Amino acid sequence: MNHNIEERLKQHYAEAGISRKVYEFGMKIETDLKERFETIDQIAEYNQLKVVHAMQKARVNTECFQYASGYGYNDFGRDTLEKVYAYIFHTEDALVRPQITCGTHALALALAANLRPGDEMISVAGKPYDTLEEVIGIRKSKGSLKEYGISYRQVDLLADGSFDFETIEKTVRPDTKLVTIQRSKGYQTRPSFSVEQIGEVIRFMKERFPDVICMVDNCYGEFVELQEPSDVGADLVVGSLIKNPGGGLAPIGGYIAGRKDLIENCAYRLTSPGLGKEVGASLGVMKDFYQGLFLAPTVVKGAVKGAIFAAGIYEKLGFSVIPSMKEERHDIIQAVEFGTAEGVIRFCQGIQAAAPVDSYVTPEPWAMPGYDSDVIMAAGAFVQGSSIELSADAPIKPPYAVYFQGGLTWEHAKFGILMTLQKLTEAGVVTIE
């Protein structure tokens, strides 16, 4: 390292409120991670090539970024972007739209479009993400799949977090139309699945029940590994553009990539029977969708490094972290268990204090609709609620775990994590010698 730059850097961190002790503690962890980070760089390099190659193959040109309004017939940018996604995910087709408002909407759409009254869906990865409970009707809601006569069953994971193949085989019935698999742990404490593990359960399903649709909730997983669930047989992969694949630039949106007939069902459901993919103007967001996708592999790289760095710091300080510093990564989420309300609150305040936007506000725990305890959330994002940007949240209840993710650059993620440690040491929650 250039010593002059290093000195200037230390000085700058000090001016930003990071003490010498905190900085040096972080530097030790970072040094330990050098080799690990090289692997993360290589994954990003691979995925960068994958994305560029897909854009070249689809012959992306400046016309793709033009504003389209009204019905959006012949919206060239939109149609070409859907080809790019299909090339990246190696699927027959894709639906990538600003009219898909978020990840929950994309998942609800994929389900509602491909299930009919009397059909059954099964989650083979245990309880799905919270917001899906109302989509499915596990929790009562207007317009749930349950109201439309679509039933749901769930196969819980085994105690070690792996798939329960035996029970899956016994649970599938003739009316089972679709199984869903959530790649990321979301806000649970089970491990996230690797694409390889997802491939095993899909292979298991396809050998026994070839007609059952295998759908993967890919939220937070895109570009973390070399392959995506569609590379190991998923019929549908679904995600949000204000997470990984939007690269921080997409201001809204969701995607569904998969088998042509299933994507057509999604398009008919999103717009209207008969109209499908033909309508839905892109309203000027295309340049951000393309550029965000182009940046996504390196943005995800920064977020993954940030997650590992946080794991390293808090593991070293004796806290329980999921995943651990050494574990392979399958998504960008990091959980840290502080065991006290004070711990999670200070952590979130550190993330907020390091944000480029709204850094001067102090997040406090608050009652939120849909939660059974107070929740604290830290985000200073360019795009509201974007969780590819550095963000953290924690329910104020045992085990007092904070879930943290994102960072558009590694440098910013690092600063944010150092700031959490700063806040925790100032509050006396942790001591570094």
Ligand X SMILES: *Cc1c(COP(=O)(O)O)cnc(C)c1O
- Within a 10 A sphere around the Cβ of 344, how many other Cβ atoms? 28
Instruction: Find the shortest distance in angstroms from Cβ 76 to ligand X.
Output: 27
Determine which helix (DSSP H) or strand (DSSP E) holds 234, and give its type and residue range: none
Cβ-based nearer residue to ligand X, 42 or 384: 384
240 binds ligand X (CB under 6 A): yes
Q: Which stretch binds ligand X (CB under 6 A): 99-107, 115-123, 289-297, 393-401?
A: 99-107
Cβ-based nearer residue to ligand X, 65 or 89: 89
Task: Read off the tokens for 281.
Answer: 């103007």
Which residue from 243, 239, 253 is spatially nearest to 286, judged by alpha carbons? 253
Task: Read off the tokens for 363.
Answer: 């997040």
Task: Read off the tokens for 332.
Answer: 């960008």
Q: Establish whether the linkage from the previous residue to 399 is cis, with ω within 30° of 0.
A: yes
Instruction: Find the shortest distance in angstroms from Cβ 307 to ligand X.
Output: 14
Read off φ and ψ for residue 337, nearest 5 degrees: -95, 115
How many residues contact ligand X, by CB under 6 A? 13
- 122 to 161: interface string for ligand X, x by CB under 6 A: -------x-x------------------------------
Cβ-based nearer residue to ligand X, 186 or 312: 186
Q: Which amino acid appears at position 373 of this protein?
A: S
Can you tell me which residue has the tokens 């390091």?
354
Q: Which stretch binds ligand X (CB under 6 A): 26-34, 58-66, 97-105, 257-265?
A: 97-105
Cα torsion 145, 150, 153, 157: sign: negative
Residues 101-120 interacting with ligand X (rule: CB under 6 A): 102-104, 107
Beta strands in 19-118 (DSSP E): 93-97
186 binds ligand X (CB under 6 A): yes
253 binds ligand X (CB under 6 A): no
Q: Which residue is nearest to ligand X (CB)?
A: 103
Task: Read off the tokens for 165.
Answer: 């193949």
Cβ-based nearer residue to ligand X, 80 or 184: 184
Instruction: Find the shortest distance in angstroms from Cβ 66 to ligand X.
Output: 27
Instruction: Find the shortest distance in angstroms from Cβ 117 to ligand X.
Output: 25
Instruction: Find the shortest distance in angstroms from Cβ 3 to ligand X.
Output: 42
Instruction: Find the shortest distance in angstroms from Cβ 142 to ligand X.
Output: 17
Distance, in Å, from the CA atom of 234 to the CA atom of 215, rounded to the nearest integer, reads 6
Instruction: Find the shortest distance in angstroms from Cβ 400 to ligand X.
Output: 21
Instruction: Find the shortest distance in angstroms from Cβ 186 to ligand X.
Output: 4
Q: Which stretch binds ligand X (CB under 6 A): 72-80, 86-94, 182-190, 207-215?
A: 182-190
Q: Which stretch binds ligand X (CB under 6 A): 15-23, 84-92, 98-106, 196-204?
A: 98-106
Cβ-based nearer residue to ligand X, 87 or 403: 403
403 binds ligand X (CB under 6 A): no
Cα torsion 424, 428, 431, 433: sign: positive
Determine which helix (DSSP H) or strand (DSSP E) holds 376, and give its type and residue range: strand 374-379
SS3 state of residue 121: strand
- Whether 265 and 93 have beta carbons less than 8 Å apart is answered as no
255 binds ligand X (CB under 6 A): no
Cβ-based nearer residue to ligand X, 129 or 400: 129
- Whether 182 and 123 have beta carbons less than 8 Å apart is answered as yes
Cβ-based nearer residue to ligand X, 102 or 267: 102
80 binds ligand X (CB under 6 A): no
Helix, strand and coil percent figures for the chain, each rounded to 5: 45, 15, 40
Which residue from 43, 44, 33 is spatially nearest to 308, judged by alpha carbons? 33
Distance, in Å, from the CA atom of 380 to the CA atom of 389, rounded to the nearest integer, reads 8
Cβ-based nearer residue to ligand X, 128 or 363: 128
- Whether 97 and 78 have beta carbons less than 8 Å apart is answered as yes
217 binds ligand X (CB under 6 A): yes
350 binds ligand X (CB under 6 A): no
Cβ-based nearer residue to ligand X, 64 or 285: 285
Beta-ladder partners of 154:
123
Instruction: Find the shortest distance in angstroms from Cβ 433 to ligand X.
Output: 37
Instruction: Find the shortest distance in angstroms from Cβ 237 to ligand X.
Output: 12
Instruction: Find the shortest distance in angstroms from Cβ 37 to ligand X.
Output: 24
Give the residue, chosen from 152, 220, 403, 404, that forms a contact with ligand X under the rule CB under 6 A. Answer: 220
Distance, in Å, from the CA atom of 179 to the CA atom of 199, rounded to the nearest integer, reads 13
Task: Read off the tokens for 13.
Answer: 């961190």
Can you tell me which residue has the tokens 């977020």?
303
Contacting positions for ligand X (CB under 6 A): 102-104, 107, 129, 131, 182, 184, 186, 217, 219-220, 240
